[in-house]
Amino acid sequence: MSYSGWKNWQTWNVALWAGNNESVYRDISYIVSKFGGRTISAKRAKEIILFHYPDGTPDMDGTPRRYRGVDWSAISRAFNEF
């Protein structure tokens, strides 16, 4: 079941918080510039999110297990469009 154009609520929620967090944006910009315009992989996207939101996004109420449903490939594609 999709949610607002994303695979599910978890993916939408991570994209929402990541897209509205200046620190996340700066990290992505730094990685892309440091590595010569490389794209952000799904693994790296997950690492960035877990660094900024280790206990889940504020909407996850401290329940990081909700990350289980996140489509990290979709998050990385969104990051690469920043």
Q: Model confidence over 19-51: pLDDT tens digits? A: 999 998 888 888 877 776 778 899 999 999 999
* Helical segments of 1-82, H only: 9-19, 22-34, 42-52, 72-79
**Other CB atoms within 10 Å distance of the CB of residue 23:** 11
Give me the long-range contacts of 20-29 (CB less than 8 A, separation at least 24).
21/52, 23/52, 24/48, 24/49, 24/52, 25/82, 27/51, 27/52, 28/79, 28/82, 29/82
Q: Are 65 and 30 in contact (CB under 8 A)?
A: no
- pTM (2 decimals)? 0.86
Q: Domain locations in the chain?
A: 9-79
